[in-house]
Every structure is written in C-alpha cells, then in structure tokens.
Amino acid sequence: MNNSMVLLKNLLRSTSQWNQYRHTRDRRKKGRIIGNFIGYSVLYLMLMAYCVSSCIGYGKIGIAEVIPILCAITISLLSFLLTLFKTNGYLFNFKEYDMLMSLPFMPGTVAGCKFLYMYVKSLPWNLSISIAMLIGYALYAKPAVSAVMAWIVLSFFLPLIPMLAAAFLGFLIAKISAGFKKKSIIQTVLSFLVVLFVFALRFIVEAVGRSGRIELVLTEMSGYIKDITAYYPPAAWFSRAAAEGDLLYMLLLAGVSIALFEIVFLLVGRNYSSINSKLKSHAAAGKFSMKAQKSRSIYNAIAYKEFRRMTGSSVYMTNVGMGELMALILGIVILFVDVDQLLGKMFNGVSLTKEMLYPAIPLVVHLIVGMVATTVVSPSLEGKNFWIVRSLPISGKQLYQGKMLFNMYLMVPFSLFATICICISAAAPLLTGILCVTLSFCLCALSTAWGCVCGIRHMKLEWENEIEVIKQGAAVMIYLFPNMLVSIGMIVLSVFLGTKIDRNIILAALIALVSILAAFCYRRACSLAEK
C-alpha cells in the first residue's frame, strides 16, 4: 500500500489541473482550467439538487428509512458501470506502462496504483450523491451525530467493492481477449454484452415493479428495496452503520473493502505483465498477397483513418458505439411491441396517444444515438501525432471535414433505422415518416458539427490516457449536457405542441430550426479549423 500511495501521489501531481494552473503562464490555459472548475461545480450542484429532491419525495411517501440503502445501491451501480468502461484504459494497455514497469515496483503495485487513481477521480461524483442523500435523509430521520459521521466516513469505502468487482471483470475480459488476434474488438464485444445484461436486468426489475397498481408499488417499495440487501450485503452494512451508527458494521464494510483490494490485486498482479504484453503486441499474417492499392478521396481517406482509430481502441468503441447499439436494439424490439400498450404501461393514467409522439420520434432516437459524437474526441485523440497530421498537404478545414464525414457514416444509418422502425410500429403516415427521417438526418448533422466545434475549441493534446479525453474531457462535457438538455426540452415541447397544431407543421419547423443550427455550427467548425 505504501508503494501504491507513492505512485498515486506522483500520478495525481502530474495530472492535477490545479497543479497546472499554479505553474502555467499561459492565460488561455488558465482560463480553460477555471472554466472546467466552474463547469464541474455546476454539474455537482445539479446532481446534488436532484438527489436531495428525490430523497424529499421518498420522505413524503413515508419510506425515508430506505434512503441509506438507496444511497448504497445508487453509488454501487454507478461505480460498477463507470469502472467497467474505464478498466481497459486505466489498468491495461495505457501509454505510460513501459515507464511505470521499469520502476522498482511489483506489477500488482502498479495495477493497484492505477485502480486507486481511478477511484480518486470518481470520488467527487460519489461524494456528491452521498452527501446530498444524507441531507435529504436528515430532514426526515433526524439521525444522531455518530450516524452522520459513520455515513460520511463510509462514503469513502462504499464505491470500493463494486469498483473492485468491475475491475476484476475487466481483468477477465482483458485476459480472454488477449489471446485473440482482434483484441480490441473482442474486448468491446464482451464489454457490450456485460453492459446490455445490466440494462436488461434493470428493465426486468422495472417491469416487475409496474406489474401492479402504482399505489401498491409505492406502498410496497420499502419492502422491495430492503429485499435487495439480501443479495447485496454491503448495502445492508452501510444502512445499519449509517442509520444506527453501528460500529461493527462500519468496521465490517471497511475491512471487507480493504481485504478484497488486496486479494484482487494479488490475483491481477500475477498476470498483469503478460496481459499487457499481449495487448500491446500485434499479430502479423504468415501469408500475404500483393493487391492493388485503393484510391480514396481526401475526405474518405480521413474518415477511414478515423474508423481504424476507433476499432483499434476498445474504450473508444465502447463509449462512442453504445448509443448506436442501443438504437439498433430499440429499432428491432419496437417492431414487436404494441406502442399504445407500451405508452399505457409507461404513463399509467396519462392520456397519451402514439399520434402525439410523432414529432418526438426523431428526437428520442437522437437522444440515444447522439450521446457522444466522434468529432468531440477525435481532435484530442491525435495527441502527439497532431503536428504530423497538420504537416500533411491538406488544410485544417479538409481534416475536420473528413472527421465529420466519418461521424455521419457512423451515426446516420443507425439513426435512420431506428426512426423508420418506430414510425412503422407507430403506424405513422407516409408524409410524417418522411419528415421524421429528414429531421433525424438533420439532427445527426447538428450533433456532428456541434461536436466538432467542442472538439476543436477544447482540444487537449497532452494526455497520458485516452480516457482523459473520451470520458473526462471538457469537450465531452460541454457537448453532452447542452445536447441532452436541448433534446429533452424539444421532446417535451414537440409533444405539447402536437396537441395544439398539426404534427407535420411541427416537424417541418424543427427541420428548419435544426438545419439552421447545423449550418451555423458547421461554419463555426470550419472557421476554427483554419486558425
């Protein structure tokens, strides 16, 4: 642990934005760092406000006693999923691997350090949820001071067990995929399967919860939540320690977390060097034949380069391709579902018909497909190769036009497929279907251009791990939240207006508005590319 802490301390120093702010003389860089601090602070406050309001709702319906269990479950699920996405980039196949392994530390120590770094980076999100739910719980339960202190202390241990489980699962995925030729693709497929299983499990639980009347569900919700502790004991330990100040359960949760950390990285350390060596190796074909070289346009050549870059990184594929995969599944499943019955189950007691949702169909699909555009991260992923790319005999405008073309190649087919399937299932008229498909295409163009603006404007070329760009970059955050908020707002507005005026008029107006925004963002991206 001492060696891991030495490595962790230096790793945090080298990547700390506060450290960069103190020592840099670049005013623009200081301004971006301040902007990042402000942006993350706003996000933390929004998350805390949502958690507090949720707890107030639980208190009003008389189930405040389950808030500690809900806190444990929420943090555990969030920690598990985020760690599963990050494990490959943080623990395996990272850039500074050769440098760290040349130091006089055991492989398990290096792996433990990278895990702790991942834990520290996610700690602000977990603490925001925990402290906010503590505030909501305190409004109704009036816990003792000892219970409050136990809650705060155990908030640091609560994410460890699910993160260790996700890290060990990521270790198994890496170990299995290391034996294949297409390592990154195998890792991506296995990661997708695990995530889809988690999502499917969530919907199964929701379906069971909706099987009865809403009043019955609310009445029995406390019992349902308490039953979860039988399958996930750490939630029960946290609840007993945080609600009652029980020292025994507090020590149990902390002790088990530390013991699992030692066991997991003892096992990981034994195979750590061999797995990384296999992941960094590249297979060479024993037989090859000379073929004519393909000729592509400049834009298609850049798009193909982006395709190879994406398929060469499981982290890139998993995070960017998840929306497309979900849209594909949605499009297939919706063909076998009665939309009216689905709306009746989702909005029990609300008079909502499928005709009212016609203008929202492309927006719902875009909310899934447009989660992350490749143009947001691809400028930063050039990293140290950026100057090599810019030295090619092409303009900056052509470079980013090629990157935007690849995102359209990736996003448009899935978006149009899901839109057409929903229109067929909802029995939308032909003209409405055509307008929905047109709007879906325009939304893809808007996401592509807006993502490129964010990617160029907040480009980060100095990084040691691609996760810093793909999941934690300022460009991703600035793209994601306005994109999501605008999409959700437009869905609500379109459904509301659909009850007042003709839906085709709404779709036509949305097409015009989105096209104007897409054209503006495209011109802005081209302007930034030439600077």
Among residues 498, 505, 487, the alpha carbon closest in space to that of 363 is found at 487
C-beta pairs of 36-40 under 8 Å, 24+ apart in sequence:
36/474, 39/474, 39/477, 39/478, 40/124, 40/477
pTM value is 0.65
Which alpha helices (DSSP H) does 2-106 contain, by range? 2-15, 17-23, 27-60, 67-91, 97-101
Tell me the backbone φ, ψ of residue 407, rounded to 5 degrees.
Answer: -65, -35
pLDDT at 59: 79
* CB-CB contact of 154 with 254 (8 Å): yes
For the record, the structure tokens of 2 come out as 């001492």
DSSP secondary structure letters along 262-319: HHHHHHHHHHHHHHHHHHH-----S-----PPP---HHHHHHHHHHHHHHT-HHHHHH
* CB-CB contact of 467 with 86 (8 Å): yes
pLDDT at 293: 57
pLDDT at 515: 92
Rounded Cα distance, 521 and 451, in Å: 9
Mean pLDDT in consecutive groups of 10 residues from the start of the chain, 531 residues: 72 75 76 75 81 81 79 86 73 66 75 82 87 87 83 89 84 66 50 52 46 44 61 83 80 88 81 66 52 69 84 76 83 79 55 73 87 86 74 82 91 92 87 91 92 86 72 77 77 79 87 92 87 70
* CB-CB contact of 465 with 89 (8 Å): yes
Residue entry with tokens 């325009």: 442
pLDDT at 383: 73
pLDDT at 288: 52
* CB-CB contact of 310 with 374 (8 Å): yes
pLDDT at 426: 84
